[in-house]
């Protein structure tokens, strides 16, 4: 479908905006908040509280959000690179081959 400037593209964009719009939130007193300024304040306070409060419970929501390296991987990337490893890497490179996406 792409991002061409078509009626279909604009229609899907409008639908996505409506679906993603937060119109109301339930506050701590179990009351619905619908005013834009109050919604912004609630969201801001929530994230301030989430990231500024001390304790391990803050990390629970972020615990599996990012991949992490294990002890073995950390040891491998932490050690110095030997001349032998460099030589092996150069020998594995094909002659007259185009560069890959990373430029190597």
CA distances from 82 to 58, 86, 88, 89, 103 (A): 41, 7, 10, 11, 22
- Please work out, in degrees rounded to the nearest 5, the angle formed at the alpha carbon of residue 75 by the alpha carbons of 72 and 78: 150
Q: Is 103 left (phi over 0), alpha (psi -120 to 50) or beta?
A: left
- The tens place of each residue's pLDDT in the chain, 104 residues long, gives 556 788 998 899 999 999 999 999 999 899 999 999 999 999 999 888 877 766 555 566 667 778 888 899 999 899 999 999 999 988 888 777 777 777 66
C-alpha radius of gyration, the chain, whole number? 25
CB of 13 closer than 8 Å to CB of 5? no
Predicted TM-score (pTM) of this structure: 0.43
């Amino acid at each position: 479908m792409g991002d061409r400037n078509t009626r279909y593209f604009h229609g899907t964009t409008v639908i996505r905006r409506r679906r993603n719009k937060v119109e109301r939130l339930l506050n701590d007193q179990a009351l619905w908040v619908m005013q834009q300024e109050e919604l912004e304040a609630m969201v801001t306070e929530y994230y301030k509280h989430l990231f500024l409060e001390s304790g391990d419970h803050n990390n629970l929501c972020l615990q599996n959000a990012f991949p992490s390296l294990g002890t073995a991987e950390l040891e491998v990337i932490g050690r110095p690179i030997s001349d032998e490893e460099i030589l092996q890497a150069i020998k594995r490179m094909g002659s007259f081959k185009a560069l890959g996406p990373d430029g190597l």
